[in-house]
Amino acid sequence: MTSVPLPQPRFRVSRTLRAIAVGLAVAAAAPAFADDLADAQRHIKRGQYVQAMEKVDALLRATPDDAQARFLKGVIYSETDRPAEAIAIFTRLTEEYPEMPESYNNLAVLYARQKQYDKARMALEMAIQAHPSYAVAYENLGDLYAKLASQAYARAVQLDAGSRTAKAKLALAHELIAAPAGKPAAAVDGNGNGNGNGKPGR
pTM for the full model? 0.75
Give the model's pLDDT for residue 180.
61
Q: Which of these, 69, 63, 112, 64, lies nearest to 87 by C-alpha position?
A: 112
Q: What is the pLDDT of residues 97-110, one digit of tens each?
A: 999 999 999 999 99
Distance CA 108, CA 19 (A): 21
Whether residue 179 has pLDDT greater than 90? no
Query: Which structural domains are found in the chain, ordered by start?
Result: 1-14+100-202 (no CATH), 18-92 (1.25.40)
Distance CA 124, CA 13 (A): 12
Q: Are 89 and 102 in contact (CB under 8 A)?
A: no
